[in-house]
């Protein structure tokens, strides 16, 4: 069985690239990125999809009367392609309840902090301003809250005294490119089980 993956991205899509690379080199078995969707017309993620002959789709939120209408069309496009797993890779829109329920425990996101600390935007800046000694990144299933779904994998990154937002972000991103493919691999291999808030790795 081939697991069909859709990636939603709003920016450069470096995590998308990491997923593509790990599928192409065989690390993630029996999987295919079938569709890349963006809400930003000039998102570089769309160019990455084109380079790998992956179908891409730009959906302009301004062309829809409501978020519900936007996500209705998004769901239709995912269903049409038999999508088994949805990955958020720098997707800057909060998903609505109807979308989340449609793909319950089948939507993953990666966040640049050790959740539940520093949710939302500018997590690296929040971490530096708070003065933490360790930050990192988290892959989690998406639920109805903000960065609040069950945690799949986390990786710690030491915060250095001379760190800037840019330098800390760069080191965290390196870890993101490792643990996001790992989480996808575990999902595809059927090794993830959600029990309440706990994700068990079988």
Which residues have a catalytic role annotated? 111
First CA to last CA across the chain, in angstroms?
A: 19
Q: Give the phi and the psi of residue 60 in degrees, each rounded to 5.
A: -85, 110
Place of tokens 């330098």: 167
Rounded to 10 degrees, the C-alpha dihedral 95/97/99/102 comes to 150
Angle at CA 14, nearest 5°, toward 118 and 61? 75
Cα dihedral 128→93→86→182 (10° resolution):
-10
For 170, phi then psi, to 5°, come to -65, -45
For CA atoms 82, 85, 90, 93, the dihedral sign is positive
């Amino acid at each position: 069985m081939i697991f069909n993956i859709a990636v939603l991205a709003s920016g450069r899509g470096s995590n998308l690239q990491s997923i593509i690379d790990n599928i192409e080199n065989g690390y993630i078995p029996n999987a295919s990125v079938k569709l890349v969707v963006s809400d930003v017309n000039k998102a570089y993620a769309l160019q990455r999809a084109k380079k790998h002959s992956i179908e891409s789709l730009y959906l302009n939120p301004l062309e829809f009367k409501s978020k519900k209408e936007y996500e209705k069309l998004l769901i239709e496009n995912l269903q049409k392609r038999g999508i088994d797993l949805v990955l958020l890779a720098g997707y800057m829109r909060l998903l609505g309840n109807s979308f989340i329920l449609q793909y319950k425990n089948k939507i993953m996101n990666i966040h640049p902090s050790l959740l539940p600390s520093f949710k939302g935007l500018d997590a690296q800046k929040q971490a530096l301003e708070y003065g933490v000694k360790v930050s990192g990144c988290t892959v989690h299933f998406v639920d109805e809250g903000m960065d609040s779904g069950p945690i799949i994998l986390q990786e710690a990154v030491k915060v250095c005294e001379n760190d800037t937002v840019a330098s800390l972000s760069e080191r965290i991103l390196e870890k993101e490119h490792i643990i996001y493919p790992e989480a996808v691999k575990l999902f595809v291999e059927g090794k993830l089980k959600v029990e309440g808030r706990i994700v068990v790795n079988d």
